Structure formats: C-alpha cells, structure tokens
Amino acid sequence: MEKEISQAVIRRMPRYYRYLGELLDAGVERISSNELSSCMHVTASQIRQDLNNFGGFGQQGYGYNVQYLYDEIGKILGLNETHNVIVIGIGNLGQAIANYVKFEKLGFKIVGLFDVNPALKGKEVRDIPIRMLEELPEFVKTTRVDIAALTLPKQNAEATAAQLSSLGVHAIWNFAHVDLDDVEDMVVENVHLSDSLMQLSYNIANHKK
C-alpha cells in the first residue's frame, strides 16, 4: 500500500467485510455493486470508489465474487495475520472484551489480562489468569503482544501507554476517556463511548424538529 488512504475510507472497510461475511454465510457467491449498495445503504459509486483505492475488485457485467472480495478486504485490514492482544484494566468493560469470542474469529487472540487491583490477582476470565500490571515487563519478554486494549481510568492511561511503548508494544485500542495521540511510535484507535452517546443525543434533538 504505497499511497495514503483516508481514514474515512478505512472506516468503511470493516463494514464491507461484515456484510460480505453475512452474504457468504447466506451462500451468496456473487453480487452486483447495485445489490451490495442496496443492502448496505451506500451508493454503488461510493463502493466502487472505495474499492478502487485498493485496485478495485469487480468485473464489468459480473459484479463482485463475494468470497474473493471478502478475502481481499480481510488482507487489506491485516486480518490474514493473528494479533495477540492484552487487556489492561479488568473491570466490566475489560471483562466484556476478554469474553467477546467474536474477536478471536477475526484473529485477535487475548493472551494476557492485567490490573492493579490485588483482589483480582489469579482470577481468570476464559481460563486466562489476571496478572498484576507490574508483571507486564516480564510478560512481554516471553509473549508477543501486538495490541493493548486499555480499559482503565483516564488518569492512568497516558503513563500506561508510555510504558507500553517503552516495552515495544506499539498499538493501543483505547477506551479510556482521553485521546492518546501524543504517545511516540504508537498506533492508537480511540473508542470514546461518551462521545458516541453525545452524538446520539444530538441526533435525537435534531430528529424531533
């Protein structure tokens, strides 16, 4: 991938992947861009434009081969590789993530759980023991960690992110209520649940009118 592709395009790719997966489950082998467009509520030209960023995958008059397109988008999204994930902060949200089997099907494997609360030490979620955060430096020496999910309070997020970077973990899936854009050599995906709730609130207020 030589050219820079906008994050708006990237944001739509998982959705294509999801719909194509459902089509595959339903036994659909090929689909026209018009049909794909109508089930996804995206214009056919948007779909063509998006996919053309990666070379395009359709054939004039044939449409898309669902399996092929699904596999190619999977590769674009890096899903042909397994990602080892640790979760830091094993409250309800951390547990929800540790328990979400769907992620494993996509190649995201939970390999470690960490917290600072001694009461959690040695407890398990899906047979994975909860370790104390101070054990993290030892842990990464023997286990490859590709992604750290941060489900911890905002005030601890930045220090933990800096520590992760120094330990060679360079991707964070961040649920803490703070943007982590300043951490050096770190790929960050922020999931701000309050932000999404506020966007919903806006749309409720403006739907009524």
Which residues sit in the known binding site for NAD(+)? 89-94
| Region near its own copies per CB under 8 A, out of 45-53, 115-123, 156-164, 167-175 | 167-175
CB burial of 74-100 (b: ≥16 within 10 Å; e: otherwise) equals bebeebeeebbbbbbbbeebbbebbee
| Pairing, β 124-125 against β 128-132 | antiparallel
Nearest CA to 175 out of 109, 90, 112, 104 is that of 90
Question: CB within 8 A of 20, min separation 6: which ones?
Answer: 66, 69, 70, 73
Which CB atom, from 126 or from 138, has the smaller least distance to its own copies?
Answer: 126
Choosing from 87, 147, 180, 183, the residue that interacts with its own copies (CB under 8 A) is 147
Q: Which is nearer to its own copies, 64 or 173 (CB)?
A: 173
Q: What's the closest the beta carbon of residue 82 comes to its own copies, in angstroms?
A: 10
| Closest by Cα among 75, 81, 11, 68 to 42 | 11
Choose which of 103, 162, 163, 167 interacts with its own copies (CB under 8 A).
Answer: 103
Task: Give me the residue label for tokens 């701000």.
Answer: 192
Residues that bind its own copies (CB under 8 A): 1, 7-8, 10-11, 13-15, 17-18, 41, 76-79, 81, 83, 91-93, 95-97, 99-100, 102-103, 106, 108, 146-147, 170-171, 173, 177, 179, 181, 187, 189, 191-207, 209
